[in-house]
Amino acid sequence: MEARLLGFRDACELMGFKISTARWWLCQNKFPVPTVQVGGRRMVFAEDIDNYLAALKRTATTKTGLGKDGAVKRGPGRPRRAPPPLLQHDGADNGEGK
């Protein structure tokens, strides 16, 4: 089985990155998938891109509260502020007011 290589620009488009941002990440060793140089051109294995996107999808559905269909789980209506905490009265007279 032969590995499929994609050009760096095409790989960035598939992953949703701007080319300038991706080049900066590459210089900083922060690009999320490994790259290789073939004949002076930067290339990315298609399998690595597939694995990266699948990992993003798994992370998004487990950390953000998305359902299996990708919908956000929310209650009906507009989100409201939490009410202020109620003050607790312990019933003891502290001597004030007399």
Instruction: With H, G, I as helix, E, B as strand and everything else as coil, classify residue 51.
Output: helix
Which pair of structure tokens corresponds to residue 16? 């949703």
19-27 and 8-15 helices, crossing angle to 10°: 110
Which residues, listed in sequence order, are joined to residue 6 by a DSSP beta bridge?
44
Element (H, E) at 5: strand 5-7
pLDDT for 24-78, tens place per residue? 999 999 999 999 999 999 999 999 999 999 988 887 666 555 555 656 666 677 7
Residue closest to 34 by CA, chosen among 2, 25, 1, 59: 25
Q: Six-digit token pair at 73?
A: 């789980």
- Domains, in order of start, for the chain: 5-63 (1.10.1660)
pTM across the whole model: 0.58
